[in-house]
Amino acid sequence: MDHAADAHRTDLMTITRFVLNEQSKHPESRGDFTILLSHIVLGCKFVCSAVNKAGLAKLIGLAGETNVQGEEQKKLDVLSNEVFIKALVSSGRTCILVSEEDEEATFVEPSKRGKYCVVFDPLDGSSNIDCGVSIGTIFGIYMIKDGGEPELEDVLQPGKNMIAAGYCMYGSSCTLVLSAGRGVNGFTLDPSLGEFILTHPDIKIPKKGKIYSVNEGNAKNWDGPTAKYVEKCKFPKDGSAPKSLRYIGSMVADVHRTLLYGGIFLYPADKKSPNGKLRVLYEVFPMSFLMEQAGGQAFTGKQRALDLVPKKIHERSPIFLGSYDDVEEIKALYAAEEQK
C-alpha cells in the first residue's frame, strides 16, 4: 500500500456516500435506513470522542449502579447508553430499542416512530476502559411487520431476520464494520475530517485460521467437545502447526481480529454458565450475521446461531464463530458427542 499516495487521495468513499450509493440501487427506497444509519454513526463518533477523553474527564469511575446483567456500571456505559437512545429516537425511524444497559425495551413514542427495531450493546468490554484495551459498540437492526402497534415480539426474532448489523471499535483507531446483507465493509474514522472512510472493502474471512480465542480460565468447567477442540488447537495430531491463542476479553476486539485474520472465537457454555455468557440479541446475533456475510460460520453448540429464536430480550447463548473450516471442526465434535 502506498501510504504517501493514500495521504493525498481526494476521492474519499465516506460511509454516508457508500450507503447512499447502495440506496440508489433500490429505486423504491425512501432513505429511512440511510437516515437511521447516520444517527448510529453520529452516536459512534460521540462515544469515540468520550472514550478518548475518558481519563481526563473523570468518566472512568463507577456510576454507582448495577445494570440488569449484575455488572457494575461505569459512567461511560451510562453516557454511551443515553447517547444511543437519544440518537436513535431522534432519527424518527425506530419503534423499539433494546439496550444491554436497560432491563426493559424502550418503546418510542408514536410521534417519533418508524419501522425499525434496533438492538445494541452501547459499550461492550467496558471493564477494559481503565487499561486502554479496545472496546466497542455492537448493534443489529430489524424491520417490523407492517401495521399495528409495535410489540416485544417484533424484536424477539431469529438473527437471520436482521436486515443489518455492525460494530464500532474504539481502539488505536476508530473502526466501524457494517453489513446490510450484501457483504461486510469496514470504515475508519479520519479525525481530521470527522468522517468514516472506507478502508476495508468487502471483508472476507480466511477459510481456515491459525488463531483460537477463548477464556482458558474457564477450562475446568468446559464440556467435552470444547475441551477436545482446544486440546487439538494446542497439540494437533495431524502434524500441522499448533494454533496461537489470542484473547483480549473484549468481544468487539476479539471478533474484529478473527474477521480480519481468520481463526475461531469461542465462548462456550460451561458448568458455571450453562446457557453461555454472551447475550443473543445484541452480541451473538450481530457478530454471527457479520461472520456469515464475510464467508464464515456461527454455531451455538446445537444449531446455526442465526436460527435461534430468543424468548427474552437479555437471553444468553454459547457461541463459536469464525473461519468456515474451523467452525466445521467444532460442529463435528458436537455431532460425535450427540451420537454417543
| pLDDT tens column, 260-312 | 999 999 999 999 999 999 999 999 999 999 999 999 999 999 999 999 999 99
Instruction: Record the cell numbers describing residue 332, joined without a space.
Output: 463435528
Sign of CA dihedral 15, 21, 22, 27: positive
Which of residues 160, 177, 200 is at a domain's end?
200
Helix (H, G, I), strand (E, B) or coil at 108: coil
Q: Average the pLDDT over each of 27-31, 297-301, 316-320 and give the range with the smallest value.
A: 27-31
Residue 156 structural domain: 3-200
Instruction: Record the cell numbers describing residue 24, joined without a space.
Output: 440508489
**First-to-last C-alpha distance (Å) of the chain:** 52
Give how many domains the chain has, as a whole number. 2
More reliable by pLDDT, 59 or 144: 144
Beta bridge partners of 124: 136
Whether residue 253 lies inside any domain: the answer is: yes
Whether residue 206 lies inside any domain: the answer is: no
Which of residues 136, 170, 200 is at a domain's end?
200
Give the Cα separation of 245 and 254 in Å (integer): 11
Give the Cα separation of 56 and 231 in Å (integer): 44
Nearest partner of 286 among 181, 165, 177, 180, judged by Cα: 165
**pLDDT at res. 11:** 75
Whether residue 295 lies inside any domain: the answer is: yes
Tell me, yes or no, whether 121 and 261 share the same domain.
Answer: no
pTM: 0.92
Nearest partner of 268 among 333, 217, 304, 319, judged by Cα: 319
Whether residue 246 lies inside any domain: the answer is: yes
**pLDDT at res. 10:** 67
Tell me, yes or no, whether 127 and 189 share the same domain.
Answer: yes
Q: Is there a contact between 120 and 82 (Cβ–Cβ < 8 Å)?
A: no
Give yes or no for residue 4 having a pLDDT over 60: no
Sign of CA dihedral 243, 176, 281, 77: positive
Question: Distance of alpha carbon 105 from its chain centroid, rounded?
Answer: 19
Tell me, yes or no, whether 8 and 152 share the same domain.
Answer: yes
Tell me, yes or no, whether 162 and 265 share the same domain.
Answer: no
**pLDDT at res. 27:** 77
Tell me, yes or no, whether 47 and 194 share the same domain.
Answer: yes
Residue 283 sits in a domain whose CATH number is 3.40.190.80
Tell me, yes or no, whether 192 and 218 share the same domain.
Answer: no
197 phi, psi to nearest 5 deg = -110, 140
Tell me, yes or no, whether 103 and 249 share the same domain.
Answer: no
Which of residues 200, 234, 266 is at a domain's end?
200
Whether residue 167 lies inside any domain: the answer is: yes
Give yes or no for residue 44 having a pLDDT over 60: yes
Q: Is there a contact between 78 and 63 (Cβ–Cβ < 8 Å)?
A: yes
Tell me, yes or no, whether 195 and 227 share the same domain.
Answer: no
Radius of gyration of the CA atoms of the chain, in A: 20
Give the Cα separation of 140 and 302 in Å (integer): 22
Give yes or no for residue 68 having a pLDDT over 80: no
Instruction: Record the cell numbers describing residue 335, joined without a space.
Output: 455431532
How many alpha carbons fall within 13 Å on the CB side of residue 282? 23
Over range 126-151, report the average pLDDT.
87
Tell me, yes or no, whether 219 and 151 share the same domain.
Answer: no
Whether residue 146 lies inside any domain: the answer is: yes
Q: Average the pLDDT over each of 9-23, 107-121, 170-184, 296-310 and give the range with the smallest value.
A: 9-23
Q: Is there a contact between 134 and 164 (Cβ–Cβ < 8 Å)?
A: no
Q: Is there a contact between 159 and 140 (Cβ–Cβ < 8 Å)?
A: yes
126 pLDDT band (50/70/90 cuts)? confident
Tell me, yes or no, whether 286 and 181 share the same domain.
Answer: no
Residue 90 sits in a domain whose CATH number is 3.30.540.10
Q: Over the stretch 195-229, which tens digit does the pLDDT of each residue have?
A: 999 999 999 999 999 999 999 999 999 999 999 99
Over range 148-160, report the average pLDDT.
92
120 pLDDT band (50/70/90 cuts)? very high
Instruction: Record the cell numbers describing residue 154, joined without a space.
Output: 417484533
Whether residue 232 lies inside any domain: the answer is: yes
CB proximity list for 320: less than 8 A, separation 6 or greater: 264, 265, 266, 267, 268, 298, 299, 300, 301, 327, 330
Give yes or no for residue 145 having a pLDDT over 90: no
**pLDDT at res. 63:** 66
Instruction: Record the cell numbers describing residue 156, joined without a space.
Output: 424477539
* CA dihedral of residues 106, 40, 119, 64 (deg, nearest 10): -70
Tell me, yes or no, whether 218 and 266 share the same domain.
Answer: yes
Whether residue 205 lies inside any domain: the answer is: no
**pLDDT at res. 132:** 83
71 pLDDT band (50/70/90 cuts)? low
